[in-house]
Every structure is written in structure tokens, then in C-alpha cells.
Amino acid sequence: MNISVIVPLYNEEESLPELYAWIDRVMKSKGFSYEVIFVNDGSTDRSWDVIRELSEKSENVKGIKFRRNYGKSPALYCGFAAAQGDVVITMDADLQDSPDEIPELYRMIMEDGYDLVSGYKQNRKKGDPLSKTIPTKLFNATARQVSGIHNLHDFNCGLKAYRKEVVKNIEVYGEMHRYIPYLAKNAGFSKIGEKPVHHQARKFGTSKFMGWNRFVNGYLDLLTLWFLSTFGKKPMHIFGFLGTLVFMVGFFSALGIGVDKLWALSQGIPQRLVTDSPWFYIALTMMMIGTQLFLAGFIGDLLSRSSQNRNDYQIEEEIRCGK
């Protein structure tokens, strides 16, 4: 199979028929063999009924239905697991991503040798509020610096293309869908490119953009991903180092207080008790904190393999996606 198109969605019943017709038209015009996997993320409207109707008309339509709303990352995770195409395309269901971009994205993966190609929506409407544009620009600038992927301008663009091996070797969880290029890079897929894509106005429904909340949450997720990718396999490298450093500072401070006390006694110089000095307790506290940090690193090493149930989602129903 040439292409798998994964469409995570939440309450997009109006746009689904038009989106699939558009995808189908593009695929047939280029002679691609394909599948479209709709992942219904706990929609409360008729989205799943529409997916059922589409699947009855075409065997290319597959579907996954969550019992409740988990978020975009879990939807992509399950879609990636079900994908069978040589190239995997992800796109939003709101018709703002154009299926006409798919052939070129496919060519860049198969002929130019990219592992991942991310869309760049250069023509976003200028009327977007500052509450949307400023967090987006800050988020992308921070993501470029932390990830080291300096050629990407829009990490959060939903329209992306992947070599099949990429989606089968990365784990998307929580809210990490924003950092799939970073996840791919950490997994050893370093040839990451960008393609300017056409951004269309939303035709149905309302935007689910969360403004500053998304920036704050995204920033915290980025720090988490950086920390885990840097120290996740060997937490002792950071906690052990910090623990040892803090402990040694506290130890030598306490030693200095003791030596100073002994010297004063040998010289007959009156001096207050060591336990009357606040510096003694500060040094003792630093030694305790250092010990705790060291133990945290040791325990972290033992638990470096996270919970096996991290990506255990309750799927109510599937269409042609069952194992």
C-alpha cells in the first residue's frame, strides 16, 4: 500500500464527507493505493455515524472510536499502530489542511529520501488574534532551540508525512504530538524537511485553539521531552551528579566549621557552640538534600522503564483496524 492517511477528529461530522471525497479524488488521480484511518476521539456529535456510512461506501475507509476524549496524541498513537502504507500522512479533519499537498509530500519521502516532512502554513490569515499568533511564534522559536531542528517553522502543523518506519518506532503519548519531529530525531530519523502548504479557512465548526494555555502546556511538555530524552535512560547522570555536588558542598562546609572550632580551642579563643551556628544547620541540610537527590537518581535508574500501561486506551469500536 502506498499511503495511509490518519485523521484524528473531535466533533467534525460536517466536514468528514467533503474531506474524504477530496482525499479520494486526489488518490485516484495519481493512482495511489491508500487507506484513510479516521480516529474518533470521543466525539459527542454524529462523527462516528458519518465514518460508518463512509466505510460502507468504500473499503479504503477505516475507523477507530475512543470511548471518551483522550486527546490528539493518543489518537495519532492508535492511528500509527494501524497504518499499513509505505508513507503515512497526518492531517486535521477541519478542511484547513489541503489533500492536494499529499502527492508532493509522498514524493519528498519516497524520492528525496526524507524521513519526515512537516507542513508550514505560511499563508495563515493575518486576522488571527495576538492571543494565537504570539504564543505560536514563541512556542515554535523555543521548540527549534531545544530540539536543534532549526529548519522547521511550524512544529504544530497537523499536515505531516512520515516514512512508515518512523511511525512504527516512536511513541506518541500525553500531548507530545507537537514534538513528533523531535521524537523522530531522538529515534535516529534525522532527515527532517519542511514544505510550505496552503492553509484554508475553517469551513465548519469552531477552532479548538487554546491560546496561552496551549503555549504554557506545550512549553512544559517540551521541557519534559528534553529532560527525558537527555536523562531518561540514565537519571543517575543528573540526579547523582547534583546529589554528589550538593552533598560535597555541605560536607566541606560542615568540615570547615569543625576545623575552625578546633583551631579556636587550640588557641584559647572563646567561641560559641557549633550547634549555635546557623551555617552548621545549612551545611547539614545540604548534605541531607544531596543524599536524597542521589537516592532519587538511583531509584530513577531502577524505574527508567516507564509504566507499560501508558498507552492503554479504551477503544469502543473499530472498522477494519482490528488485529
| CATH code (residue 200) | 3.90.550.10
Same domain, 60 and 208: yes
| Sheet of 116-121, strand order | 192-197, 116-121, 160-163, 87-90, 3-9, 34-40, 61-66, 315-319
Same domain, 210 and 248: no
Helix, coil or strand: residue 132: helix
Q: Determine the Cα–Cα distance for residues 30 and 25; give it in Å rounded to an integer.
A: 9
Same domain, 280 and 292: yes
Domain residue limits at 175: 3-232+310-319
Same domain, 125 and 173: yes
Same domain, 288 and 145: no
Do the strands 61-66 and 315-319 form a parallel or antiparallel pair, or are they unpaired? antiparallel
Phi-psi region of 211 (alpha: psi -120 to 50; beta: other; left: phi over 0): left
The size of the chain, in residues, is 323
Same domain, 38 and 94: yes
Whether the predicted model's global pTM rises above the 0.75 cut: no
Cα–Cα distance list, 135 to 104, 113, 143 (Å): 30, 32, 12
In sequence order, which ranges of the chain are alpha helices (DSSP H)? 16-30, 47-57, 72-82, 102-110, 130-147, 164-167, 180-186, 212-231, 236-266, 278-302
Q: Determine the Cα–Cα distance for residues 89 and 7; give it in Å rounded to an integer.
A: 9
Same domain, 264 and 315: no
Q: Determine the Cα–Cα distance for residues 292 and 239; give it in Å rounded to an integer.
A: 9
Same domain, 190 and 269: no
Question: What pLDDT is stored for residue 168 in this prediction?
Answer: 95
Q: Determine the Cα–Cα distance for residues 169 and 192; give it in Å rounded to an integer.
A: 15
Task: Write the pLDDT tens digit of every residue in 160-178.
Answer: 999 999 999 998 887 788 8
Grid cell, residue 173, equals 503519548
Question: What pLDDT is stored for residue 9 in this prediction?
Answer: 95
Same domain, 64 and 160: yes
Q: Looking at the DSSP assignment, which residues form a beta bridge with residue 161? A: 89, 117
Q: Looking at the DSSP assignment, which residues form a beta bridge with residue 3? A: 34, 87
**Count of structural domains within the chain:** 2
Q: Looking at the DSSP assignment, which residues form a beta bridge with residue 89? A: 5, 161
Q: pLDDT tens per residue, the chain (323 residues)?
A: 999 999 999 999 999 999 999 999 999 999 999 999 999 999 999 999 999 999 999 999 999 999 999 999 999 999 999 999 999 999 999 999 999 999 999 999 999 999 999 999 876 655 555 556 677 777 788 888 888 898 998 888 999 999 999 999 998 887 788 889 999 998 899 999 999 998 776 666 665 555 556 556 666 767 766 776 666 667 777 788 888 899 999 999 989 988 888 888 888 888 778 888 888 899 999 999 999 988 887 777 666 555 565 666 778 788 888 65
What single-letter amino acid sits at 244? T
Is the separation of the CB atoms in 115 and 164 below 8 Å?
no
Grid cell, residue 277, equals 551556628
Cα–Cα distance list, 107 to 111, 118, 224, 323 (Å): 5, 13, 34, 30
Question: What pLDDT is stored for residue 55 in this prediction?
Answer: 96
Phi, psi (deg, nearest 5) at residue 189 = -100, 90
Grid cell, residue 19, equals 474531506
Same domain, 34 and 183: yes
Question: What pLDDT is stored for residue 159 in this prediction?
Answer: 95
Same domain, 140 and 188: yes
Is the separation of the CB atoms in 156 and 72 below 8 Å?
no
Q: Is the dihedral of CA 43, 120, 182, 4 positive or negative?
A: positive
Helix, coil or strand: residue 39: strand
Same domain, 209 and 272: no
